[in-house]
Amino acid sequence: MDKLDRNSIEARCRWPGWQDKLCSAEEASALIEDGMTVGMSGFTRAGEAKEVPRALAERAALDPFSITLMTGASLGNDLDKLLTDANVLSRRMPFQVDATLRRAINDGRVMFIDQHLSETVELLRNRQLAELDVAVVEACAITEEGGIVPTTSVGNSASYAILADKVIIELNLDSPAEMEGLHDIYIPQMRPTRPPIPVVAPDSRIGTPYIPIDPEKIAAIVVTRGKDSPSTVLPPDADTRHIADHLIRFFSDEVSAGRLAPSLLPLQAGIGTMANAVMSGLAEGPFEHLTMYSEVLQDSTFDLLDAGKLDFASGCSITLSEACGERVWSNLDAYRDRLILRPQELSNHPGIVRRLGIIAVNTALEVDIYGNVNSTHVGGTRMMNGIGGSGDFARNAQLSVFVTKSVAKGGDLSSVVPFVSHVDHTEHDVDVLVTEHGLADLRGLAPRERAERVIEQCADPLYRPALRRYFEEACRRGGHTPHCLEQALSWHIAVERDGHMRSLQEEGVEAVGA
């Protein structure tokens, strides 16, 4: 170790015992053995440990072994791909976005447990999941007492470090030192005598700026350098602008009716291009002094901060495009007083979501005419990414909004169907559906009223006639929620058989279901 590196480490690592724990990623990875349960930092391609997972994959190529891996959400830097290709993963939870891992999950080679993101550490804490053997956490600093200062995500890192038998810390010297002080680490007490969690506003600070652990558990410190993967968010297109416009008009009407103030209520946005584009669109709206209480702080968060529209944002990770990252990380001091990063069981906590009256905006794969939402499974069976935190927010938000484009694959598929192929969010938890064609406010409507509104406001004109025919026939058969089950499934069967739904446009549901 040269003098420059030593000075850099000492500036970040104030814990006196660090030199005795310093080791390589390869040496640290040897602490992880076959069959262990491992918790790693990382939430939506942000703040993941970067070198120990690589060392695990390299070791497994020579000496095969497998583990159960828990994270906050998805990992960046292709780590899920590397671990999958090396057959390291036998079981994975609670969320992922990697194409290679997705294939292994759908082939049955990796057992994937899709969980509401607020629940994973709650299950661990109450010993409903296998106990953690090792936690691997990326840090930007280590305090005098051995406290871990996370980097760009908290996710489940705090509870993993507290609950695991051993902790491996990756001290990333490339992470901004200015991140220290940005985090708010609070761990709920055990049930059944847990006091209320005292978050009463997005800017409430209730914990410590570091993860408090027993330093005796620190088994290894690996010094690293490296950046998070940039997000793959695409710029808004005509359809996402239309969706944003529909929502802005809807919010404006809610303000006019006195149901919302001009500052609205704290906003939550799901990950990805669609929700990010919709949030960015609010910069053009008439609303001022907005706040955010969400999971992932994306480009749109900083667009709204820069536009002077957003006063404060609370999340559990920061995931940015390369261009936005250059703007933010080189000027973090300008944002620090307006940001908090929390553990995901707090960012997604149902009680806090309900207390604050969140406006939740999440993305659907498909919706049905009664308001049920599929956000996870293509064709009802093939996992895409996972439910993430959308259920935590949808069930408890003051306004639960789901957005989607009305068609997929160039019009081959309708995103509005008679009955979704997999239900993640029931009609009881969905208030508003929005596509580029319009917005369906479903509040206070019975199922038959919902169906008419969804078909006329949200479905693509190509598929409206078939949806109308389906609904008319279903109503003739009767029922509180009318269905022709064989015809409802025929929409999905058409995709399995033909690769598209276009035959429904000409033939109608009856012919396809015959």
**Packed helices 464-477 and 485-498: angle between N→C axes, nearest 10 degrees:** 150
Q: Which residues are catalytic?
A: 295
423 burial via Cβ count (<10 Å: 0-12, 13-18, 19+): middle
Q: What residue type is 138 in one-letter code? A: E
Return d(Cα 149, Cα 350) in angstroms, integer.
Answer: 26
Q: What distance in Å separates the CA atoms of residue 386 and residue 95, rounded to the nearest whole number?
A: 5
Contact 113, 96 (CB under 8 A): no
Copy the structure tokens of residue 202. Answer: 């997005």
- Extract the tokens encoding 172: 């990333």
Residue 316 near residue 153, CB atoms below 8 Å: yes
The vertex-77 CA angle with 23 and 159, nearest 5°, equals 65
What one-character-per-residue DSSP string does 150-211 give? E-SB-BTHHHHHHHSSEEEEEEETTS-GGGTT-B-B--PPPTTSPPPP---STT---SBSSB
Q: At what angle do helices 273-281 and 299-306 cross, to 10 degrees?
A: 10
If we measure between CA atoms, which residue out of 185, 93, 176 comes closest to residue 139? Answer: 176
